[in-house]
Amino acid sequence: MCGIIGYVGEKSAPSILLDGLRRLEYRGYDSSGMAVLHDGVLEVRKCAGRIENLRKLVASSKIEGNTGISHTRWATHGEPTDSNAHPHFDQSGKLALVHNGVIENYQELRTELIELDHTFKSDTDSEVLAQLIGRYYAEEENSTSLAARLTDAIKKALSRVTGTYGIAIAHADIPGLIMGARLGSPLVLGLGENEHFLASDVSAMITHTREAIYLNDGDLVTIRKNAFEISALSGGKADYEISEVELAEDAAEIGDYPHYMLKEIHEQPQALRDAMRGRLSKEDATAMLGGLQMTSRELREVDRIILTGCGTASHAAMVGEYLLESLARIPTEVEISSEFRYRNIPTDKNTLQFVISQSGETLDSLAALREGKRKGCRVLGIVNGIASTIARESDGGVYMHAGIEIGVAATKTFTSQVTILTLLSLLLGRIRHLSTTDGLELIAELEKIPEKIRTILDGADRIKEVAQRFSATESMLFMGRQFNYPIALEAALKMKEISYIQASGHASGELKHGVIALVSKETPSVFIAPDDAVYEKNVSNIEEVKARKGPIIGITTEGKTGLERICDEVLYIPSAPPPLTPLLSIVPLQLLSYYIAAERGCDVDKPRNLAKSVTVE
């Protein structure tokens, strides 16, 4: 979950590293630091807190050099302190390392090194790796060069490690060189003219390069300003492919918005258009998803679908379950990725698994993908991260094309995931039983969704007023039925993530089965009750909360004014067929959570204890 950026070239490394860290801060912001090689000395600057703290530190105590590694941290082992910030050093002080991942057997290795008179300066698992590599480097005397000596030390140390890592290493004895390796944690090599980059995310270097190599697990990379080499940790050369970076330079800029989250909420109409672009065929009344790499005959043979994801992606998967079963009539189940990897779920040759992940690097989802493949399933991905690990390891899939998402709380990627799952349901439905008329009607309604979201965004001031009214609350309930039950879960997650309000999502029908005990004058209930087959059932549940004097916010379809009689506040969404209402109902709830968090003075884009890309278990 941490961010890494390394640079070798002719330019000033500190400024490039600071810019890269700024773009990576969504991956972790507990502490940050850098080590820059200059005149045979590794100069280090690191501190707890945001990257702005590091910038000030670097400005006040100048640091120079053309080779350096840097890191922004999301704490796993050890508190967010100056001493626990990366980079970490070996016993000699000449080897610096930054690390993303978890070394599971670090205590065992630490004890061994302490017995060999190593002194530790931090509580992290990462320092153990730096010390171990440094020890083997000191012991390696038969190598033909210092670079070969460091290579051998890295291989020997990593062979003893249990866990995950994406690392970058610099050594004072070897100017103009950085080495890196990955296992379960992303690492990208950026190619430039007389300069090279190493980063955990391509966004860190989009202002400097348009060519990148996405490293695979087990890769070891060496970069100099005018050369690079990729080999396998197990020995021999490694296969790689040079990819063109598709991100626009200003994609990660905030523009005129106060927060990235608000910007990304407002980007949803375009994100959904991009998700649908070129994928709807009115001639055949279906969706076209060539990335699945499956024929219509193969898709027709699918008799069971498993959707896996974490957090927001799991909620999108739940919407997908309703979509696939209602439109395609295929039995579908949702599995949280972290549970799936440890369960013995029965599958057969006609089971199709989808792994849903914004980044395409989510460790639990990657493990779920690999578990599905071990069981012989065809596993497809729905990801936003181009050339991400999940995209490369899956048997096919669909890119979301939502653009970069900086805000930790997912917004546009959620609606993009639901859109892709809608297209998938349309495709599978048309292969089975949906008529041409049904397909055309769904396409027509789906194409209207982006503009309908725009009308909701145009009414944001009204949502802001409601948020101000309820911003002081400390607990909230969210309830919905059918397609909008997952939306209740997602809305509660958004509220928890950025406002720190204790929020919970529930199926409205479960109100009487325990949830109603939480209803009080101090606990607002949000009901998602669009004009659908269960509208009256939702109204009955609202009446039950009203009878117990619980404040109520209703989300319903324009024209259904009946809720104004029993709700304290009502927010309206445009009319849409029930399968498409989740794409609309989530938008006012995203805005509600945003405005409540902003009113409470919370750091919306960088909520406490969270990071955007979860690459540790």
Task: Note the pLDDT tens digit of each residue in 245-293.
Answer: 776 656 667 889 999 999 999 999 999 999 999 999 999 999 999 999 9
Last residue of a domain, one of 456, 480, 514: 456
Quick one: 418 and 385 in the same domain? yes
Domain range holding 486? 459-617
Quick one: 351 and 498 in the same domain? no
Q: Which residues pair with 190 in a beta bridge?
A: 197, 212
Could you give the CA distance from residue 570 to residue 564 in angstroms, rounded to a whole number? 6
Quick one: 54 and 162 in the same domain? yes
CB 330 within 8 A of CB 324: yes
Is residue 616 predicted with pLDDT exceeding 70?
Answer: no
Quick one: 282 and 351 in the same domain? yes
CB 203 within 8 A of CB 24: yes
- Lowest model confidence (mean pLDDT) among 74-78, 85-89, 573-577: 74-78
CB 386 within 8 A of CB 411: no
Which amino acid does the sequence have at 309? G
Identify the CATH number of the domain in which residue 534 sits: 3.40.50.10490
Token digits of residue 586: 């989530």
Q: What is the mean pLDDT of residues 452-473?
A: 97
In the chain, how many domains are there?
A: 3
- Please write the tens of the pLDDT for every residue from 478-535: 999 999 999 999 999 999 999 999 999 999 999 999 999 999 999 999 999 999 999 9
Quick one: 204 and 306 in the same domain? no
Token digits of residue 439: 């397909």
Last residue of a domain, one of 456, 479, 514: 456
Quick one: 370 and 499 in the same domain? no
Quick one: 401 and 527 in the same domain? no
- Please write the tens of the pLDDT for every residue from 284-343: 999 999 999 999 999 999 999 999 999 999 999 999 999 999 999 999 999 999 999 888
CB 308 within 8 A of CB 337: yes
Last residue of a domain, one of 204, 224, 244: 244
Check 2, 310, 377, 602 and give the catalytic one.
Answer: 2
Check 46, 94, 452, 612 and give the catalytic one.
Answer: 612
Quick one: 70 and 168 in the same domain? yes
- Please write the tens of the pLDDT for every residue from 121-157: 999 999 999 999 999 999 877 767 999 999 999 999 9
Quick one: 390 and 506 in the same domain? no
- Annotated active-site residue 121? The verdict is no
The whole-model pTM stands at 0.89
Name the H helices within 356-406. 363-374, 389-393
Q: What is the mean pLDDT of residues 557-575?
A: 95
- Annotated active-site residue 47? The verdict is no
What would the DSSP string read from start to end of 261-292? HHHHHHTHHHHHHHHHTT-EETTTTEE--GGG
Identify the CATH number of the domain in which residue 76 sits: 3.60.20.10
Quick one: 588 and 600 in the same domain? yes
Which amino acid does the sequence have at 161? V
Candidates 408, 383, 414, 406; CA nearest to 396 is: 383
- Please write the tens of the pLDDT for every residue from 344-357: 888 888 999 999 99
Quick one: 299 and 448 in the same domain? yes
| Residue spans of beta strands (DSSP E) within 317-373 | 332-336, 351-357
Quick one: 337 and 427 in the same domain? yes
